[in-house]
Structure 1
Amino acid sequence: MESSVSVPADLAGSLIRKSKQGLVLWAEGFREACCLHRVFIYCFRSRQLAVRTGQCFLLNGFIFLGSIFLLKSVIVPALQWILPDQCPQITSEDSRSCGGILEFYNFLRLGLVQLFYVFWFFPLYILSFILSNIWYNDIAKHGFFAIEEYGASGTKLTDQKESQTSQKTVSKAKSTDFEGVMIGIAEQIYSVLLLTFFFLEVYVIGFIPYIGKALNFLLLSWMYAYYCFEYKWNLSGLSLDKRLDFFETNWAFFAGFGSPCALAIFLFSPLVSYGVMAILFPLFVLTATGSEADKIVSLPRTKWRGAGLGRVPIFYVADYVSTKILTLLPTQQGRATPENKAL
């Protein structure tokens, strides 16, 4: 009797400990994402970083979001005043003609707004998407080198140490031998496929009744967290299999880190949420670049005597589909290996 009672008690105690550990890691990830003061420090260290960050704010904040505000606050009310949707006090004899005029006004007003979208918002959206993705790479690179240049203590390194650090970073990020280059290209192709199918998975899960929105928010949090840290991992030369292993093992931390990013998707309309995310994303990239995630996630394990939460196969479906597609390509070995699945 005592043994049968102790087993559920031990199981309940284990679940409570893991829940506490998961909440602590989630809170640590959320806190790391909100350490936006790092952005000002890194921009102060690097003029190129400050310029690129300012360009993102100017294009996506002032121009893109400003255009949406101008449309909703000025243009639409002006069209409503010029082309009203209600007739003044009229007699019953004029009601039929007034209805036809109102239909024409509604059609004309809607058409003018659609023209504004077609000839301004959609081209601006495409331009913003292209330039922002180019600038995100530059922001991550300048932020990464700004951190490497000053070291962990925050004091500027000497010229010799700075040169050695830059050369070490570049040698990690870019391999000169042919095999290393091919593995790097293969990993990039696989990474693009993996994230593409994961994005489709997130989109489809959102349509599940009752729990779809909650799962969608969780997966979006992981997706944006991975996007933010991927820049740092690319620059530091971390292999793809190690990235996925570290990410899926510390899923609670990354769920917390990506939560502020996912909130913008749920709080605003699609067009506004894109503009808000285009402003916030480079900031979270910089906070991820300056985050020492490996040290942060090891603290709860020490407190709970090394007990981990276990690995969650977040990218299992996307990995399975991506691997099946890549196996259709001609390869030397005829199969995808765990280290370089795209070869």
Structure 2
Amino acid sequence: MTDNVKEILQGIGNGMKDAFAGTLKIYSMDSELSAREEKVRKKREEWARLKGRPPPKKEAGETRILFRIIQCCTFNGGVFWCSIAIFNNIVLPLLEKLTYYIVGDSAVQSLVVWSWLGPMLSYTFSALWVIPLFLLSKIVNSLWFQDIGDLAYRKSRGRPQMLGLSTMVADLLFSIVIQAIFLIQAMFVGLIPLSGMATLLSLFHLCLLYSLYAFEYKWFNMGWEVHKRIHYIESNWPYFVGFGLPLAVCTYLPQSQIVSGCVFSMLFPLFIISANEARPPRQLCEKTIRVFHLSVELANKIFHKTMRTPKSATDQSTGTVTTSISLSTS
């Protein structure tokens, strides 16, 4: 029993250490990536010279990791979050004082006017600014996150080992469905009528989910299918709880879901880099927790109703479909 607790605590500590350690390499990653690409370019030029062919054209300078991180912080923190803070803490109070000044000395009448004017202004601001910008941020962030993940992988491992097109599409769709269901599962767990236990269980789910988010860019480029990614997390859950814990705590503290999303979008690129630099333990944990089992089962049921699997096989460890999934034409 003591050894199991020690193993779990050690795994959590190693995960937290790797989550912070990877971010320390941000400033050196671009130079290392440039050195790797320059080495590859010279090899191509040498090969072309030996074959008597013209040297390959020099590719235009690509966007670097640090630049993408600055973009994420500027857009999500400097534009999105700051605009909400300015409206709530500066614009609304000024408009409230202006309303009291225009209405006059009648405090009751001023309160009545502001009781409908204040919410109307908040709803208008949300409808015309917050919601459109939130939807835009989801699209833009997903592109930037993918770019950061690809650049970090090229720096640490070189060329990605991509899956086949049909397998890649099916794997991506299946992974998105599992993550969406698991997020709902984390929300329901947080409703348990035991406040302390509910908070711990919800954080536990978020830690594993955020770790899956961060490592998925790396594992996807390594050619790992979704059943292997989930099984690996469930089998090494102490490490991945520790890895996702800092991000889970930072996003759990804000009361507003919008602010929580801004915090996530600013910090998540750092965890993508840490995941690419991390070396999770190869030895499986003695106590495997199949926390994704329910989400995988529900995702399988959804896919079986909307897709057909000609020669489907189910992975014994997670219950996921491991063969190709083709869209149904009916």
TM over 0.5: yes
Residue segments in structure 2 that go unaligned for 5+ positions in a row: 34-62, 316-320, 326-330
Q: 1:326: Cα distance to partner? A: 2.4
SS at match of 1:34: helix
The percent of aligned pairs where both chains have the same amino acid is 25
Partner of 2:6: 20
Amino acid at match of 2:133: L
Partner of 2:267: 280
Provide, for residues 191-245 of structure 1, a one-character-per-residue CA deviation record: whole Å limited to 9, x for no partner. Answer: 1221121111111111111122221111011100111000000111123332222
Structure 1 residues 78 and 45, CA gap change in structure 2 (3 angstroms): farther
Conserved? CA contact 2:26–2:66, under 8 Å: no
Q: 1:51: Cα distance to partner? A: 2.2
Amino acid at match of 1:273: S
Q: 1:262: Cα distance to partner? A: 0.8
Q: 1:44: Cα distance to partner? A: 4.5
Bigger CA radius of gyration: 1
Partner of 1:99: 108
Which of residues 70, 78, 84 in structure 2 aligns to 1:68? 84
User: 2:224 and 2:202 mapped to 1: Cα distance?
Assistant: 28
2:292 is the counterpart of 1:327: no
User: 2:229 and 2:80 mapped to 1: Cα distance?
Assistant: 34
Amino acid at match of 2:310: Q
Structure 1 residues 68 and 207, CA gap change in structure 2 (3 angstroms): same
Structure 1 residues 140 and 243, CA gap change in structure 2 (3 angstroms): same
Amino acid at match of 2:289: V
SS at match of 1:173: coil
Conserved? CA contact 2:100–2:110, under 8 Å: no
Residue segments in structure 1 that go unaligned for 5+ positions in a row: 1-14, 91-96, 149-165, 175-179, 302-307
Structure 1 residues 342 and 268, CA gap change in structure 2 (3 angstroms): farther
Partner of 1:129: 138
Of stretches 47-56 and 248-257 in structure 1, the one that deviates more from structure 2 is 47-56
2:206 is the counterpart of 1:224: no
Which of residues 30, 38, 45 in structure 1 aligns to 2:16? 30
TM-score normalised by length of structure 1: 0.77
User: 2:216 and 2:296 mapped to 1: Cα distance?
Assistant: 17
Amino acid at match of 1:317: L
Provide, for residues 276-296 of structure 1, a one-character-per-residue CA deviation record: whole Å limited to 9, x for no partner. Answer: 1110011111111111113xx
Partner of 1:144: 153
TM-score normalised by length of structure 2: 0.80
The two structures, once aligned, show a CA RMSD in angstroms of 2.3
2:327 is the counterpart of 1:311: no
SS at match of 2:224: coil
Q: 1:24: Cα distance to partner? A: 0.5
Map 1:1-343 → 2, pairs under 5 A = 15-35=1-21, 36-46=23-33, 47-84=63-100, 98-148=107-157, 166=158, 169-170=159-160, 172-174=161-163, 180-210=164-194, 211-269=197-255, 270-294=257-281, 298=283, 308-328=285-305, 329-333=307-311, 335-338=312-315, 340=322, 343=325
